[in-house]
Amino acid sequence: SAPDRYAMVIFGVTGDLTHRLVIPALYNLAEAGLLPETFCVVGITRKEIASEELRASLMDGLKRFATRPVRQDVADKLLYCVTAISADPSDPPSFDRLRERLEKLEAARHTGGNRLFYLATPPDAFAPISSELGRAGLLREDQGAWRRLVVEKPFGTDLASAKALNAHLLGLVPEHELYRIDHYLGKETVQNILVMRFANGMFEPIWNRDHIDHVQITVAETLGVGHRGSFYDATGALRDMVPNHLFQLLSLVAMEPPSQFNAHAVRTAKSAVLSAIQIPSEHDALANSVRGQYSAGQIGDTTIEDYRKSRNVSPNSTTETYAALKLNIDNWRWAGVPFYLRTGKALGAKRTEVAIKFKQAPFAMFRCTPVQQLSQNYLVIGIEPAESISLQFNSKIPGPQIAIDGVEMTFRYKDYFKVAPSTGYETLIHDCMIGDNILFQRADAIEAGWAAVQPFLDGWRKAGADGLQIYPAGSNGPADADALLARDGRSWREPL
């Protein structure tokens, strides 16, 4: 459906996220003609600044971070509609002034009173800003005009804080007007998991414990912690990646087929499978997980310094930069099918993928190759950088004798589709505008995700440095991550 006219009110407008992703995504939407004719951006700053100054800074950001050549006329039109207004949650009257100024601006720009509040801020600002928005009456629906609230990750730091944040936000805005962003859902390859599974008849009959041996989810990065030391050292790989990004992949792969493509049906199915993740005791969590921290190393031409020497990281830090977990899902489809998850920084390769390992052929008819030596049957969903889906199976090596080798049949997006490079935020922002919540996280799914990782967080916190393995930057991660699968007679599909 066509987007309604509205005002987009951005908190954190001077920050990195707005410059790097939000404005370039708005630009791409503008260029594609997907912004409403009547639209404006209100950038909230703590200190009073002139709108011209904000526009100039956003234009600089756009030139640096645009994913396509910038057309000056489109950029000018977009940035012409940016207004800076100052408001600071520690100064409540400033939010009353914000309401008055916004109402005037809405009247002048004819945005119909529809408001999208986008909190592109550090997470500790979510509660104070939303409280003030609520108190000053900015979130109250008025004459049919909608109010939407967008929050970025991280959503809480554990189960208790996520529940508290949900309770707080839901006290101000109904669930269907809350948009909790997980940028993984903006990726085409992630959205395509639903289409691959449910627009084709051939996968679903084998998508279960009878045919699938186990599932591997890998999100490996080559980058180290960079300049995000203070955030990352308090966060770690598990919190940063698992209950959000890896669980998005897990839930799309493991959910039951929804019967309708709408936010309620899809999100209910995703939440149901996340709630079915077996919650281990702390003892079992320790036994079924591996955590590591990188030391100095070389990745290609880049030298990565020891994590503990990074800026704003404690020299005695026990924060994990790598996490691997074995999870079970307690339902009829997945009982007995382990899900192995791994994610880490400063690894030997950048690779995000889901690998579905099918069961071996049950019987060795070909004497030349014992069944154990046959290549493994995998369906590999490449999310990044390989945007592909590939099926790995055994084939006869041409020749007079029977000899067998593994081969691969691969679909690559770029062979079929021409897509202009994007930020990954276009679909998400567009969906906020049209009021479609499918690609956003619902409160129950967020809480189910945190509940499943909580025993790992608790066990690791108590274990401190015990069990934290150091791996050199550029390597495959801690050796115990291989052992985690080897003890089940399995191995990761490929080293990193």
- Residues marked active site are found at 245
345 is in an annotated binding site: yes
Site string for ligand BG6, 169-198 (x = CB under 6 A): ------------------------------
Q: Which of 99, 135, 153, 176 binds ligand BG6 (CB under 6 A)?
A: 153
187 is in an annotated binding site: yes
Q: Which is nearer to ligand BG6, 338 or 474 (CB)?
A: 474
359 is in an annotated binding site: no
Q: Which of 31, 132, 177, 240 binds ligand BG6 (CB under 6 A)?
A: 240
Q: CB 184 → ligand BG6: shortest distance, Å?
A: 7
Q: Which is nearer to ligand BG6, 57 or 343 (CB)?
A: 343
447 is in an annotated binding site: no
221 binds ligand BG6 (CB under 6 A): yes
Q: Which is nearer to ligand BG6, 67 or 268 (CB)?
A: 67
Q: Which is nearer to ligand BG6, 186 or 338 (CB)?
A: 186
Q: CB 202 → ligand BG6: shortest distance, Å?
A: 29
Q: Which is nearer to ligand BG6, 269 or 383 (CB)?
A: 383
Q: How many residues bind ligand BG6 (CB under 6 A)?
A: 5
Q: Which of 34, 38, 41 is nearest to 18 (CA)?
A: 41
Site for ligand BG6 in 448-487 (CB under 6 A): none
Q: CB 347 → ligand BG6: shortest distance, Å?
A: 12
- For helices 23-31 and 72-80, give the axis angle rounded to 10 degrees: 120
147 is in an annotated binding site: no
Q: CB 35 → ligand BG6: shortest distance, Å?
A: 24
Q: Which of 109, 98, 111 is nearest to 146 (CA)?
A: 111
Q: Which is nearer to ligand BG6, 83 or 352 (CB)?
A: 352
Q: Which of 153, 480, 160 is nearest to 326 (CA)?
A: 480
Site string for ligand BG6, 343-372 (x = CB under 6 A): ---------x--------------------
Q: Which is nearer to ligand BG6, 240 or 431 (CB)?
A: 240
37's tokens: 């004719």
Q: CB 424 → ligand BG6: shortest distance, Å?
A: 7
Q: Which residue has its beta carbon closest to ligand BG6?
A: 240
Q: CB 182 → ligand BG6: shortest distance, Å?
A: 8
Contact 323, 242 (CB under 8 A): yes
Site for ligand BG6 in 54-93 (CB under 6 A): none
183 is in an annotated binding site: yes
Binding-site residue ranges for NADP(+):
46, 153
Q: Return binding residues for substrate.
A: 183, 187, 221, 240, 345, 350
Q: Which residues bind ligand BG6 (CB under 6 A)?
A: 153, 221, 240, 352, 384
Annotation: binding site: 46, 153, 183, 187, 221, 240, 345, 350
